[in-house]
Structure 1
Amino acid sequence: MVKKYFSCLLLLVLFLSISTTYSQISIGSPVLNFTQVCADESYNSTAPFKVEFSFSPQSALNLSNQFIVELSDANGSFSSAVILVSSNPGAITTSKGSLNFSFPQNTGGENYKIRVRSTNPAKTSAESVSFSAYYQIQNSPFSINNFVATASYCSGGSYVLKIDNPGTGTNDSPLKYPSLTYKWYKEALPNPILVGTTTSLSVNQPGTYYVETNYGSCTSNSYSNRVRVDSASVQISNITSSKGNPFCASQGATTLTSQVANSYQWYLDDVAINGATSITYDANKAGSYSVKVDLGGCVNTSIINLQEIQFNSSINIPDVVTLQEGESKTVIATTTAINPTFQWFKNGIIVPAATSNSYDITTAGDYSLVINQATGCASTKTFNFTFKYPIIDASVTSIPNLISPNGDDINDTWVIPQEYLGGTNTEVQIISASGKQVLKTDNYQNNWPESSMDFKNINPVFYYIITTKDKKVKKGSITLIK
C-alpha cells in the first residue's frame, strides 16, 4: 500500500515538472522596421510600422495566446504603457512573429521604446532600442501676428508674438491641438537661434522671428510666417483702410488696420468704441477714427479721417424762403451724381409726379428733395427747406431794436412796420458791427435772420438803414439776445 502511494506521488511530481517546463517561453528583443517615426494622418492610416520578434519554444504557446505590442511614454517608461496592436488569439504560432501598427495622435518625443508580451503563457520581452516619434497632427503653415509682417516695441519694453487662434481666413492654427509643443527662432547666421518653446514669445531685441511646431528632427510644413520686430522709434505706422479713403459705404464696411502692438483701443470722434480692442476695426460710416496702441513700455496713437465717397449736389435757394401770396418759385437741383433720380416731398408726403431736378413751389410748407445715385457707389443726399409767407403784423408801429433768434417762434425775426415792407419800394440794409453788409433788399419780408443764430457770451449788435421811396432815412441798432 505504501509502495503504491509513493508511485502515485512520483507520477504527480513528474507531471508538474513537465507542465511547468511546457508553460515557460522566452521572447527576444523587438526588431523595428524604422529608426524614427514621422507620422501623419494619411501615412499613419495604412499601419505602415512593423515589429518582428522571436520566441521559443513554439510549443509553449497556448491556443488562446495573444501577442501584444506596447509603447512606452516619451521618456521610455512603460508604467502607463499604450497598446499599439494585439494579435488575434492563436494567430501567431511560429517564430518569427510580426505585427503592423500605427502611432497615437498624441505621440511626440525623443525616447520612445517598444516591447512585446504574450498572454498565455504571460511573458514580456526586453525593450527595443529607443527612437524619436512624432505624430504630425497639424502639418500646414500657420500665422502669427495675423500675417502682419512688422511689429515694434518701446525702449525698455517688449512685444509679444503670438500664434493666431484661430487667425484670419483659413489659418490652420496648431493651438487647436493641445498636445503640440513649439520652437521659436530668431533668424541669424549661420543658423537660426532657438529663443523660446511656449505658445507666445516676448521680444525685446530687434530681429526677424518665427515659430515651428516641435516635431523633433522630422521635416514638416507646420511653421509660421516671419515677423520683423524693431524698436518703436524705427517704425512709423498709419491706419490703413481696406477700401481706400474715401470709401463707398453702400458696399459694406471698410477694415481699418493699425500697426501691430500688444493691445489696442479704437475711438470714433474721440469716444472709445466698446469692444474695439483688436488690431482691426470694421468701420461702416465716415468720421475721425483713432487707435491707441500699447507698444510695450509706451503708447502710440494714430488717426485717420475716414470719408465716404459722395456726389456733390446743391439747390438754388436758402433753407428758408419767403413766398408772396400767388407767387411761384422754381427750385432747381444740380448734381454730379451718375444717372441720378429725384423725388420731392411736401410736409413729409411724397409728391408722385415730382421726379425731375426742378420743382415749382406755389404754396408755403416744409419741403425736401432726395437725390439718389444707384450706379457705382450707391448714395443719397437730402435737402430740407421751408417756404413761408411773409410776416405782416399791422400792430407793429415802431422799429424794434431787440430780437431773440433762438428758434422758439417768439420774436425770432426783426419785424418792422408794414410801411417799410416789400411792395413799398423801401430799401432795407443791415450791417454788422464790423461794417459787413449782411442784408440789402427792397423787398423785405420781416424774415431776417432766416435761421436761428448761436452766440455765447456777447450779444451781437447790428445796425440798420431804412430808406423809403421818398428818400426818408431811418437808422438804428438791432441787439440779438437769447
Structure 2
Amino acid sequence: MYNPKLAYKIFIGLCVFLLFTSEKLKAQIVIGSPNLGFSQACASGTFNTYNTTFVFSPEEGLSSSNQFIIELSEADGDFTNAIAVFTSNPGAVTTSPATLDFSLPTTTAGENYRIRIKSSAPAATSSGSTAFAAYYKIQDSPFTINNLVSTGVYCSGGSYLLTIDNPGTGSNDSPLNYPSLTYKWYKETGPTTFVFVSDGSSLTVNEPGTFFVETNYGTCTSNSFSNRVTISEVTSGNSDAGISSSLGNPFCPSSEFTTLSTISGNSYQWFKDGNIIAQATTQMYQASESGNYAVQVDLGDCVAAGEIELISELFDASINVPEINTIEDGETLSIEVTTNANNPEFEWYLNDVLIATISEENYNISQFGIYKVIVTETSGCLGSREFVFELEEAFDAFPDVEKIPNVISPNGDGINDTWTIPMTYISGTNTEVMIITNAGKVVLQTNNYLNNWPENELNLNSINQVFYYMITTSNNETKKGSITVVK
C-alpha cells in the first residue's frame, strides 16, 4: 500500500544525500605537477618573469574564493621552508590548464630549486616540479681586482694575495657591496680554457699563472667577472715588475695624463729616461709625455723592476723664439709656430688677455709684455700645447745722456746700475776715463769706456762710498767730479 509519508521521507533523504555528495565533490580537487616554461631562471634587475603551466580537476571543484599559490623551494629542492612567489586573486583562475607568471626573490642562488602549486579553497597541493638552476644576478657588470694592475710578483718561496677591489678604480661596481654574493677563482690553462681554483673574495697565489674571479651564479651566464692578473715568481733584480698605462700605449693625453701602475710592494721609486723622478714613490705615477719610464719595487725579500716605453700621441709643436726676447722701440719681432696637429687652432694672449684679432700660426709683435700662444688639435687625439715668451725693450748700453752722473746704485734692478756718461766720452772718442778711490787707488783707467763700470761687485766699506773720476778728452779738456755708490 502506498504510504505518502514514507515516500516524502525517502525523497527528502535522497535530496540530502545528493546535496552532501555534491558538496563533497566540490571540496576536493587534484593539481598536477607544474610544467616549467624555462630551463633555468637567471633573473636580474632588467628581467625577472617566468611562467609555469599546470592542470587541475575537477574545474567545478573550485570555490569562488579560491586562490592559486606558487611556492618556491629552498636551493636543495626541499619545501620545508618554501616561500610564496605568486598568489592569484580570489576566483581569478577557473579553467584548466592554467598558466601563471612569477618572479624570483633577490636572494635566490642555487642549482636545484623546485616549485609547486597550492590552492586555498579547497586546499590542495601539487607535487614538485623538476629541479632547475635559479639565480638573481644582483650585480651583473665587470669589476676589478688588484686595483686593475695586470701583473703581480711574489718572491721565491712566498705568495701573492689577490683581492676584489672595493670600491676599486673609477666607476668600478664592486660585488663586495652585496654581502649575499659568493665567488669562484679560476686559473687560465689556455687562450680560452681555465680551471677552478678556489672560492672566496680573495685568493692567495703561490704559483705563476694568470688568474681571475667570477661572481658565483652557477650555470647562469653573467657579466660579473674581473680583469685578468698575471702572477710571476721573482728573485731579486729580475725585471718582472710590470707597468700598465691607464690610457694604453701609445696614449692620447686627452685628460692631460695617463696613470702608470705597477705591482704591489713595500716601497717604490719611479724613473724617467734613467733619471729619478723626485717624490714619485707610490704604486702609481701620472705621466703626460713620452719617455722611457721604469720602476723599482721593494717586495721585502727581493726587489723587482720594470719599464715601459711610453708614447704620447699628442701632436708636436715648436716656436721660433726663446723665452726672453728684446727689440728696440719701434721694431717688430716675427713669431712662427710650427705644428703637425690636425686642424689646429691658435689663441694668442698678451699679459693673459686674449688677442681676438689673431688666430694664425704667425704673428708679428711690437708691444712689450708677456705673450702666450695655445695650439689646440681639434680632431683625432684632442689636446693642446702652450708656449710662453716675453718681449722686452733692448738694453741700451750707450744712451745719449746730457750730464755726467754723480750717483749710481749697482743693485741689479736694471736702473742706474752702471756709471753711464754722455756719448762724447765713451768708446770711439779717444777719451781717457779714470776712476779712483777716496784713498787714491786707481780702479779704472781706459781710453775705451763702455759705460760698464762697475763690472764686478764692489767691496764697499761704507753704506754710500765715494769714488772720484777724471775725464780727459783728445783735445785735453778735463772733467772732474765724484761718484757716490749707493748700496
The TM-score bracket by the shorter chain reads 0.5 to 0.7
Aligned to 1:102: 102
Question: Which of 267, 274, 278 lines up with 1:270 in the alignment?
Answer: 278
Matches for 1:66-465 after TM superposition, within 5 Å: 66-76=67-77, 78=79, 81-92=82-93, 98-104=98-104, 106=106, 107-128=108-129, 130-136=131-137, 144=145, 149-155=150-156, 156-162=158-164, 179-188=180-189, 192-220=194-222, 222-231=224-233, 233-238=238-243, 240=245, 242=247, 253-261=256-264, 270-271=278-279, 279=284, 281=286, 310-314=317-321, 330=331, 332=333, 335=336, 337=338, 357=364, 359=366, 367-368=368-369, 370=371, 372=373, 374=375, 376=377, 377-387=384-394, 394=404, 413=417, 415=419, 421-422=426-427, 424-425=429-430, 442=448, 444-446=450-452
Q: Distance in 2 between matches of 1:136 and 1:172?
A: 13
SS at 2:40's partner residue?
Answer: strand
Q: Distance in 2 between matches of 1:425 and 1:340?
A: 57
Q: TM-score of the superposition, structure 1-length normalised?
A: 0.58
Structure 2: tracts of 5 or more residues without a match? 1-8, 271-275, 378-383, 434-445, 458-471, 475-486
Q: Residues 150 and 73 from structure 1, CA distance in 2 versus in 1: closer, same or farther, beyond 3 angstroms?
A: same
**Count of residues in correspondence between the two structures:** 404
What is the one-letter code of the residue matched to 2:71? E
Q: Spell out, residue by residue over 1:259-302, the C-alpha distance to the aligned partner (whole angstroms, 9 max, x if none).
A: 354799999963579xxx8857475x999999887869778788
What is the one-letter code of the residue matched to 1:444? L
SS at 1:183's partner residue?
Answer: strand
Identity %: 31
CA shift, 1:177, in A, is 6.0
SS at 1:311's partner residue?
Answer: strand
Question: Residues 210 and 231 of structure 2 are in contact (CA less than 8 Å); yes or no, is this contact kept in structure 1?
Answer: yes
Q: Spell out, residue by residue over 1:52-73, the C-alpha distance to the aligned partner (whole angstroms, 9 max, x if none).
A: 3556x76654221112111123
Q: TM-score of the superposition, structure 2-length normalised?
A: 0.57
Structure 1: tracts of 5 or more residues without a match? 1-6, 360-365, 429-439, 453-467, 471-481
Q: Residues 150 and 379 from structure 1, CA distance in 2 versus in 1: closer, same or farther, beyond 3 angstroms?
A: same
Q: Spell out, residue by residue over 1:79-137, the C-alpha distance to the aligned partner (whole angstroms, 9 max, x if none).
A: 6533222334335557x654433341522112323233221233444545544322456
Name the Cα RMSD after superposition.
Answer: 6.1
SS at 2:200's partner residue?
Answer: coil
Question: Residues 405 and 449 of structure 1 are in contact (CA less than 8 Å); yes or no, is this contact kept in structure 2?
Answer: no
CA shift, 1:216, in A, is 1.7
Q: Residues 176 and 105 from structure 1, CA distance in 2 versus in 1: closer, same or farther, beyond 3 angstroms?
A: farther
Q: Distance in 1 between matches of 2:29 and 2:255?
A: 75
Question: Residues 144 and 162 of structure 1 are in contact (CA less than 8 Å); yes or no, is this contact kept in structure 2?
Answer: yes
What is the one-letter code of the residue matched to 2:369? S
Q: Distance in 1 between matches of 2:87 and 2:324?
A: 93
Q: Spell out, residue by residue over 1:399-443, the C-alpha distance to the aligned partner (whole angstroms, 9 max, x if none).
A: x9xx9756597xx95649889754645799xxxxxxxxxxx9945
CA shift, 1:332, in A, is 4.2
Question: Residues 209 and 228 of structure 1 are in contact (CA less than 8 Å); yes or no, is this contact kept in structure 2?
Answer: yes
Q: Residues 140 and 52 from structure 1, CA distance in 2 versus in 1: closer, same or farther, beyond 3 angstroms?
A: same
What is the one-letter code of the residue matched to 2:386? S
Q: Distance in 1 between matches of 2:246 and 2:200?
A: 33
Question: Residues 323 and 388 of structure 2 are in contact (CA less than 8 Å); yes or no, is this contact kept in structure 1?
Answer: no
Question: Residues 208 and 231 of structure 2 are in contact (CA less than 8 Å); yes or no, is this contact kept in structure 1?
Answer: yes
What is the one-letter code of the residue matched to 1:235? D
Aligned to 1:473: none
What is the one-letter code of the residue matched to 1:253? E
Q: Distance in 2 between matches of 1:183 and 1:131?
A: 21
